[in-house]
Structure 1
Amino acid sequence: MRSIPPLAAVRVFEAAARHENFTVAAAELGMTQAAVSYQVRLLEERLGLPLFRRERRRVVLTDAGRRAGTQLAAAFDAIDAAFAGIRAEDEAVLTVSTSNTFANTWLVWRLGGFHLAHPAMAVRLLTSDALADFAAQEVDVAIRSGRGGWPGLAATRLLDIDFTPMCSPAFLAAQGGAIAPADLPRLPLINADDPWWAHWLAGEGVAAPDHASRPGVRLDSQAHEGHAAMAGQGVALLTPFFWRHDLAEGRLVRLSARTATRGYAYWLVYPETRAKVAKVRRFRDWLLAEMRKDA
């Protein structure tokens, strides 16, 4: 079993010995000169011998202090090198977790721009609708949907999730060129059992149909729903932000100017303890700038 003095005192002594100056050591460590002197005195009392001679306006290492300081400097250099290697490996790869919808409709179209801006960093994208577990997975940042308020995570709101019915131009033409909200319950609705349908229809004063036992298309993400709608398989509830290019280019048509929301949003999240990590800051700044461009 090692008999090591308090590491806080050892760290202070190493800096004081390296500079042979309590004031300079205090500035390096972000402490007061009195705190440095106190920690050194604690270490001397623990060892039972002086490490410095106090002379007028200065301190001078004793022989014992010089021997200890030289060895400790080498030991701290070794510790710094060990952690520098870990930091370099960590900084070389950015792992981003996000939902299938956010990845397929927005992020993958732009992620190459982040890599071009930071060519020394590899970017790994994990897509899953399950929430990332930062404690168990090697994930640096995540983009997740919800209402916020995740303990231990810093969260930046990116985009409010609203929704409105959309379909393909061909599907609309097959219905006579116009679909009113009251017509929707009798039409093929993609993910008709989604509670968001009832929410949107209620805003139009339309009762939601009971599709619990009715055959229909059920998909696991908005990304798939949008493509099913473009293929003419029915009407989907979609977030206009994600599909604005398809709307502009005529692959999708909005059936109403009104959108609804249930208070959900997309958020950039990461552990609060990683907020100052350089690659996390770079990705956060890039992502927010890209979102502002598209807002």
Structure 2
Amino acid sequence: MRTVRTPSGASFRNVAAQPGPEQAVEVTELVVRFGDTVAVDGLSFDAPMGAVTALLGPNGAGKTTTVETLEGFRRPDGGEVRVLGLDPVRDHRRLVPQIGVMLQEGGVYTGIRPIEILRLYASYYEHPHDPGELLEQVGLADRARTTWRHLSGGERQRLSLALALVGRPRVVFLDEPTAGIDPAGRQIIRRVVAELRDQGVGVLLTTHDLDDAQRLADRVLIIDRGRLLASGTPAELMTAGQSPEIRFAAPSGLDTVALSARLGSTVVEEQPGEYLVSAEATPDTVAALTSWLAEHGIPLGDLRAGRGTLEDVFLRLTREGRP
């Protein structure tokens, strides 16, 4: 058993660091249909233990359906899935004590208090976390006796995370873990997720917050229409297939024709105040750009050279092939 000390001093022990299968999740040619609609279409991927895997995709991409299948709430129409080497449907009773599921909302009696519901959930497990320590871990120690209905949306999210962890899971499924959470709460959740990874827990999260994915994930999977479009580390995805370019922010309405002539490369305003230069980010080109802006008294709000963000990659991949 391993003990991690949080900044607040609370112990966060987890038995998940015990030896286990290399893969937390294995998905092979998964197909899930709803009538004539194919929600998941031959999807294959794996998610290792001791790593954070982010499953990204636009609304309707098949993320939730895939995760529900992994949790044992849906049967595949084709292919197979395994969690900790177990079939989530056939081996459901063996698997449930070993996984934690964080939902976005719902399923909690509005008059119950955080300490009460954590104690209730803890009673379902043989070796649960201490409820008080978990509340401190997610920054809710001072809200232990506040009813659910009086918690903010972000506080409810953090309590949902604590509920997912109370049974010391070896694999955790997180659905939009930082949705609606303020910056301080987001930092708490990011810290907890990083600690889970360090303890050897397999974490699979779905999120629309691409900054979260870029900061937290060891591996990113981008899916659309139930199919895998790309996978890799955030750094790999942000550099693969990138054309030489410079992006910068400045007041809207710049004379892009004059700037293009100065740089010898095409400059376009992709959206108000956001510009793209189709050129390699050499020192000479960057110097020419900043010099031109300085000559015209134009402030530079942001400058990115050499690679795009994960959001750039996500938008490019999910737009391709769409009408």
TM-score, L = length of structure 1: 0.22
Task: Name the structure with the higher strand share.
Answer: 2
Task: Name the structure with the higher helix share.
Answer: 1
Larger radius of gyration: 1
TM-score, L = length of structure 2: 0.21
